[in-house]
Amino acid sequence: MNGHEKEKIIRHYIKSNIFGVAAYGGLLVCIIVFSIVPPFFGESIWTITKLSTLISDVIVMALMSVGAIFVYTLGYMDISIGKQVGLYATLMVIIGNKTGTLLWGILLSLVISLFIGLINGATGEVLKIHPIVSSVVIMMVLGGVSSIMYNNLGSRNISLKTIDYRIFKNPIFMLIVLITELIIITYLFNFTKLGKYAKAIGANPIVAQQSGINLIKYKIICYLIMGLCVVVASIFQMGYTGSASDSTGTGFEMNVMIALILGGMPLSGGMRSKVSYAIIGAFTLSLLNIGLPLIGVKPNQVYIIKAIIFIIVVLITCRKSKGMLPR
Amino acid sequence: MPKIERNATKIGGYITLKRKYTVFEKIIGTLALPVTMYLIMMIACYANGKMYYGTWPMWKTVLVDIAVSTTCALGIGLQFKSGRFDFSGGSIMLLAAIIAGTVSKNNGNNKVIFAALCLGICLALSLVVSLVYVYGRLPIIIATIGMALLYEAITTLIYNGAGINLVSNMQLKVFSSYPLALFPFIGGLITYIIYSHFTITGKQAMLLAHNQQVAVNIGINEKRNVIISYIFSGIIFGFATMIYASQGLHRAAFSSLSTVGSLFSNILPVFIGLMVGKYCGDTLGIIVGATTLSLMSYGLTTVFDAEMGSAISTIITGIFILAINVISAQGKVLTSIFKNKLKATK
Angle, alpha carbons B274-B284-B215 (nearest 5°): 50
Instruction: Count helices and strands (H / E) in chain A.
Output: 13, 2
> Which residue stretches of B160-281 are H helix?
182-198, 200-210, 212-217, 222-246, 260-266, 268-280
Q: Does B61 touch chain A (CB under 8 A)?
A: no
In chain B, what are the domain boundaries?
A: 5-345
* CATH class for the region spanning A21-311: mainly alpha
Residue B300 Cα distances to A6, A143, B189, angstroms? 70, 16, 27
Amino acid at A165: Y
In chain A, what are the domain boundaries?
A: 21-311
DSSP state of B2: P
Question: Residue B48: pLDDT band by 50, 70, 90 thresholds?
Answer: confident
pLDDT score of A99 more than 60? yes
Out of A133, A134, A254, whose CB is closest to B260? Answer: A254
Please answer yes or no on whether A255 and B256 come within 8 Å at the CB atom. Answer: yes
> Which residue stretches of A192-274 are H helix?
193-203, 205-210, 215-241, 252-263
- The pairing of beta strand A243-245 with beta strand A157-159: antiparallel
Summarised one tens digit per residue, pLDDT across range A48-66 is 888 888 888 899 999 999 9
C-alpha–C-alpha distance, residues B9 and A326, integer Å? 36
- The answer to whether residues B256 and B149 touch, using CB atoms and an 8 Å cutoff, is yes
- The answer to whether residues A280 and A182 touch, using CB atoms and an 8 Å cutoff, is no
Interval B181-194 mean pLDDT: 93
Summarised one tens digit per residue, pLDDT across range B258-300 is 787 766 677 788 888 878 888 888 889 999 999 998 998 888 8
Residue A15 pLDDT = 65
Residue B12 pLDDT = 46
- The answer to whether residues A90 and A242 touch, using CB atoms and an 8 Å cutoff, is no
Write out the H or E segment, with its range, that includes residue A302: helix A299-317
Write out the H or E segment, with its range, that includes residue B9: strand B9-11
Residue B1 pLDDT = 42
- The answer to whether residues A66 and A229 touch, using CB atoms and an 8 Å cutoff, is yes
Q: How many CB atoms lie within 10 A of CB B226?
A: 23
Please answer yes or no on whether B256 and A258 come within 8 Å at the CB atom. Answer: yes
Summarised one tens digit per residue, pLDDT across range A298-315 is 888 888 888 888 888 788
Out of B133, B255, B329, whose CB is closest to A250? Answer: B255
| Rg of chain A taking only CA atoms, in angstroms | 21
pLDDT score of A320 more than 80? no
Residue B25 pLDDT = 86
C-alpha–C-alpha distance, residues A197 and A203, integer Å? 10
Residues of B in contact with A61 (CB under 8 A): none
Interval A89-109 mean pLDDT: 94
Q: Does A149 touch chain B (CB under 8 A)?
A: no
C-alpha–C-alpha distance, residues A65 and A250, integer Å? 15
Summarised one tens digit per residue, pLDDT across range B99-148 is 999 999 999 889 999 999 999 999 999 999 999 999 999 888 889 988 99
Residues of A in contact with B222 (CB under 8 A): 324-325
From B177's Cα to the closest Cα of chain A, the distance in A is 28
At the topology level of CATH, where does B5-345 sit? ABC transporter involved in vitamin B12 uptake, BtuC (1.10.3470)
- The answer to whether residues A234 and A168 touch, using CB atoms and an 8 Å cutoff, is no
Residue A41 Cα distances to A35, A36, A47, A302, angstroms? 12, 10, 14, 17
Please answer yes or no on whether B314 and A147 come within 8 Å at the CB atom. Answer: yes
C-alpha–C-alpha distance, residues B84 and A139, integer Å? 22
From A54's Cα to the closest Cα of chain B, the distance in A is 19
